Amino acid sequence: MPTLAVDNFNIVCACLGGFITIFGLVSYLLKEKFYLSEALISLIAGVIFSPNATNLIKPEEYALYDEETLHMITLYFSRLVLGVQVVLAGVQLPSKYLKTEWKSLALLLGPGMAVMWLVTSLLIYALVPHIHFVEALAVGACVTPTDPVLSNSIVKGKFADKNIPKELQKIIVAESGANDGLGYPFLFLPLYIIQHTGQGSDHSIANAMGAWFGETWGYTILLSVVYGAVVGWIAKELLHWAEERKYVDKESFLVFAITLALFIVGTMGMVGSDDILACFIAGNTFTWDDWFRLETEDDSFQPTIDMLLNVSVFIWFGAVAPWKEFYTNNVIPIYRLVFLGILVLLLRRPPIVFAMHKRIHQIEEKRQAIYVGFFGPIGVSAIFYLYITLDYLRKNVTVDGEPREDAVYLMEVTNIVVWFLVICSVIIHGLTIPMSKLGLWLPRQNTEEAVHEIDEGLRRRQGGSSTAANILPRSVYRIGRTIVRSDNSSQPQSRGDSQPPVPLSSAPTSSSTSNGNAVGSQDKIGSQDKIGLPDGTSSDTRVNTPQPAQLNQRAIRFPDEVEQSQKP
């Protein structure tokens, strides 16, 4: 007799597969039209599937109702996702990028991370009751690194291609990949001080500093850099050797970087060193000669794996996040958490990036500095460091084999604050772009409707012979990404005329107007392009004549492929 098997495995497969399938049907619409991040959508799905809603995904039951086991599952999942992400981040950077752009990276990873750490810690110290500053430093260190998973929403896709210069995208990728591994020194300095100065300890700052320099900088950071460079270089040479002799097939070639990430995560995890930093160094060394990056540039396998991991990990986060504890805990009131989330997003990163932007050549203008400063998301890396902190406090800050009282309080504070800041970052950074686009779209619609009403009134008065473009003074209205033109030329651009407004997003480079005025590339954040007008004058934006699409012979055309084919 057939029987129903409504067990956890089948439910998880059905939920995960069903969500990704449905999301895939409208993925282009959500990500490239509405500019919603897949992390935000997946987090919401995780909440819906969680015990707080439908109770289809039951993390505590999978961990046999053991809190420590649940923490380890989340930690290992985060390690896996970060390892693959930072290898792919290193692979997509140009040849010898760490060498050629070391000055910009040194500013972002040195004073940039230090100020982010101190500012966040000061805010936590001010708003969390009964916490010492050293303890606040440990909590602040967890959210200091920017997240490579969430950074993908601002360096990939149509919005990034239209608005973010390529060099700026690269420095964001490089920083988000490198600073994940460099979070260890910021975290373990306060942890060692707490361990060596509290109840039942040796009360020796010297021992704490010795452990910090020896274990953290020597064994963790230096070893991971050397190991990642060696493994990445050997992997590159072996793949060259195999490819020259036709030993490797296409599938194995494409998956090589991902399997390299798994190998490094496993081996560095066994020796207890910094696997995340090793993965980033290995990825960059692996493409030191740019060969692998160029060979896989047009392949979609790596982005596909990237998407599957992103969706899966944020569904899990939505299910395991301590939603009820945000307002039922005895540590920090919910109103203080809200203030903390707002202040951290506003003060943690934007001020220091704005202060340094003139020394970072990729950030050319103030608008770009504000943009890069605001989009320093808190995500998977923060959860990774959260559970590193909880594990260390549970095992090392003890009295008679049990966690000390101050360690227990710090564990509760860290768990609530870090999770809340991650949720805030996913929501705020996930909605910023669509809300800004909506704010630009509404005035554009109002302006177009006003021009249309004026146009219709003039037509009725003068028997349809005049338009608003014949009466209104010559001007160019730039609203969002669209130009609405009204002048005395024979090409009116108001809504009521025969030709619609010219969108910048569809304009490729290097073409010319009919009267000889040059037109150029599409606008980026902070650029100073010009547009040729019929009377020979110019305005602050360029408009290009679209070129015919050059498509291959496949029958299916995806929207992003059509847009790419229109580029010269």
Q: Are residues 482 and 413 in the same domain?
A: no
- Grouping H, G, I as helix, E, B as strand and the rest as coil, residue 532 is strand
User: For the chain, what is the radius of gyration of the CA atoms?
Assistant: 27
Q: Are residues 166 and 262 in the same domain?
A: yes
144-165 b/e (C-beta count within 10 Å ≥ 16 → b): bbbbbbbbbbbbbbbbbbebbb
The rounded distance, in Å, linking the Cα atoms of 344 and 336 is 12
Q: Is residue 492 part of a domain?
A: yes
Q: Are residues 186 and 104 in the same domain?
A: yes
Q: Are residues 426 and 550 in the same domain?
A: no
Neighbouring residues of 526: CB distance < 8 A, sequence distance ≥ 6: 165, 364, 365, 366, 367, 368
The rounded distance, in Å, linking the Cα atoms of 113 and 121 is 12
Helices (H), 219-358: 223-244, 250-254, 256-271, 275-286, 291-295, 301-320, 325-328, 334-347, 350-356
Q: Are residues 185 and 246 in the same domain?
A: yes
Number of domain units in the chain: 2
Q: Which residues of the chain have pLDDT under 50?
A: 465-523, 526-552
417-454 b/e (C-beta count within 10 Å ≥ 16 → b): bbbbbbbbbbbbbbebbbeebeeeeeebeebbeebeeb
The pLDDT of residue 302 is: 86
The pLDDT of residue 159 is: 76
- Grouping H, G, I as helix, E, B as strand and the rest as coil, residue 538 is strand
Q: Are residues 271 and 399 in the same domain?
A: yes
What tokens appear for 420 in the block?
Answer: 């809340």
Q: Are residues 309 and 417 in the same domain?
A: yes
Q: Is residue 450 part of a domain?
A: no
Q: Is residue 457 part of a domain?
A: no
Q: Are residues 157 and 84 in the same domain?
A: yes
What tokens appear for 214 in the block?
Answer: 């020896």
What tokens appear for 149 in the block?
Answer: 């998973």
Measure Cα distances from 440 to 340, 437, 567 in Å.
Answer: 29, 5, 25
Q: Is residue 425 part of a domain?
A: yes
Q: Are residues 283 and 423 in the same domain?
A: yes
The pLDDT of residue 565 is: 62
Q: Is residue 452 part of a domain?
A: no
**Residue numbers of the domain that contains 494:** 467-565
Q: Are residues 435 and 473 in the same domain?
A: no
pLDDT in tens, 439-485: 655 555 555 556 666 666 666 666 654 444 444 444 444 333 344 44
Helices and strands in the chain, H and E counts: 28, 9
The pLDDT of residue 434 is: 83
Measure Cα distances from 110 to 90, 104, 415 in Å.
Answer: 19, 10, 26
pTM for the structure as a whole: 0.79
Q: Is residue 203 part of a domain?
A: yes
Q: Is residue 110 part of a domain?
A: yes
CATH code (residue 147): 1.20.1530.20
What tokens appear for 419 in the block?
Answer: 């999770």
Q: Is residue 460 part of a domain?
A: no
The pLDDT of residue 2 is: 72
Cα 85 from chain centre: 11
Burial class (CB in 10 A: 0-12, 13-18, 19+), 385: buried
Using the 3D structure, point to which of 385, 405, 440 is the last residue of a domain.
440
Q: Are residues 235 and 181 in the same domain?
A: yes
Q: Are residues 431 and 493 in the same domain?
A: no
The rounded distance, in Å, linking the Cα atoms of 462 and 76 is 74
